[in-house]
Every structure is written in structure tokens, then in C-alpha cells.
Amino acid sequence: MKSTQYVARQPDDTGFIDYPEAEHQLWNTLITRQLQVIEGHACQEYLDGIEQLKLSHERIPQLNDVNRVLHSTTGWQVARVPALIPFQTFFELLASKQFPVATFIRSPEELDYLQEPDIFHEIFGHCPLLTNPWFAEFTHAYGKLGLKASKEQRVFLARLYWMTIEFGLVDTSQGRKIYGGGILSSPRETLYCLSDQPQHLAFDPVEAMRTPYRIDILQPVYFALPNLKRLFDLAHEDIMAMVTQARELGLHAPLFPPKHAA
């Protein structure tokens, strides 16, 4: 695991986390800005989830409040975790319908981008779609697969996660929209991903698993689902056979320079 400067905040005996006022102000800056940026770009299922969660603009949400909504819609919950967790813990949580949320918020110096997933990324980026049964089913199935997968297989599963849950697009009757939480929590990526600068490919799970990525750049390629229900259907297909196929075919050439040359 990589090291991090961030330390997750601990709850009191009732589960309440007391954040400093400066961190509430950071949350306000992030959510106010991003709600404006995603307007017209986010898929309807995500917007429906935002409506159901009723996230405060003034205060960092308490996990218990998020849990009440998720449990009533799809049976999911969020789980408080440190800033970084091992892959094993990640898969264990998803397999038990718990989405990991690190209870810290980024510093003002990393307002626009940070590599660790903070509470804004997890709550604003991912939790709205966890109210959707199609998305929730895929995430649950993914966790169960990852729990049983080998280290080598998990590398391919990680690419699938990256190209769907983190950086996925979806075609709708209103045009191409965003559902990936990594995009929806990033102002630059939200605008960039739907421009004519990156490549847009029709979603193919094997191709997604064969596509290298870097976490510290704007993505050069995005995969677009034909509809969000495609994730639900994929959850009931033989994803591990697709992992085997992707491993046999090998990786595509990266569409970005090596990190040391960037």
C-alpha cells in the first residue's frame, strides 16, 4: 500500500464525526462547484440518487444519514475506512454490500485533484448511483468476484472497475452522459471526457480489461455503455472467463507516456 498524508477522522460513541469548520467550508466549495459543472452532463440515474441523498451543501454528511438512504433503496451501506485500504478489504466490503468511505477531506492545496479517494469523492461521486439497483448489483457482484480472484486476476478486474465505476460513460436518449464517480467528482474531467479530445469506445468488458490507465492524468480513452442496465446484465455474465480472455489477448499499447516521462 502507498503512504498518505491524510488521516481519517474518528466518530464518537454515537457514530457522529465532528469535522472542523474549515473542512465543512471545503465541502461547501467542492459540492457547490461540482453541482454546477455536472449540470447537463451527469446521467439521470445519478441525478436521481443525488435527489434521494439530499446531501447538505453546508456540512460534510454523516455516514449514518447516507446509510439510511442507501439501505432503504438497495440494501447497501457505507463503511468508514482509513485513507487507504488493502485490495482484500476493499473486495470484502463490496461483497457484503458496504462501500468504503475514508472519513477525511482533501486539503485546500489539493482542491482540484488528489490521488487518494476522500469523502467528497466517495459520497458525491459514488453514493448517488448506489441507490440504483442496476449499479448496486454490479458493484456487489464485482466485490464477490474480487474476493475469490488471484492477484493476477485482480489486476484485470481493477481495469474493469476503472473503466466503469470510476470513469464510465453511458449513452442515453439525451446523448452521452457520465456515470463514473471519478469523473463526476472532478471538474476538469467532467468537461474533458465529453469533448472531442479523448477517444470514446463502445463498452466491451474484455477490451476495458486490456486497456492500461494512469490515475494521475486525464484519461485518453473512455468506454460508453449502451445503457446503465448493461452493468446489471454484466453482473450475471461470466466475468472471470472474460478476465481469462483478456489475459490471453494481452494489453493494448498505452495511450499515454510513462509516468517518469510525463
pLDDT tens per residue, range 197-254: 999 999 999 999 999 999 999 999 999 999 999 999 999 999 999 999 999 999 999 9
Contact 261, 239 (CB under 8 A): no
Q: Is there a binding annotation on residue 200?
A: no
Can you give the pLDDT at residue 2?
A: 66
pLDDT in tens, 2-27: 678 999 999 999 999 999 999 999 99
Residues near 142 by beta carbon (within 8 Å), at least 6 away in sequence:
94, 157, 160, 161, 165, 235, 239
Q: Is there a binding annotation on residue 166?
A: yes
pLDDT in tens, 159-185: 999 999 999 999 999 999 999 999 999
Give which of 124, 253, 130 is closest to 190, Cα–Cα.
Answer: 124
Can you give the pLDDT at residue 240?
A: 98
Average pLDDT for residues 45-67, to the nearest whole number? 98
Domains of the chain plus CATH, in order, are: 21-250 (1.10.800.10)
Q: How far apart are CA 204 and CA 164, in angstroms?
A: 10
Q: Is there a binding annotation on residue 57?
A: no
Where is pLDDT greater, at 45 or 116?
45
Q: How far apart are CA 193 and CA 126, in angstroms?
A: 17
Residue 177 Cα distances to 22, 38, 55, 112, 130, angstroms = 33, 10, 22, 21, 17
Handedness of CA 181, 187, 189, 190 (dihedral sign): positive
pLDDT in tens, 63-84: 999 999 999 999 999 999 998 8
Can you give the pLDDT at residue 262?
A: 41
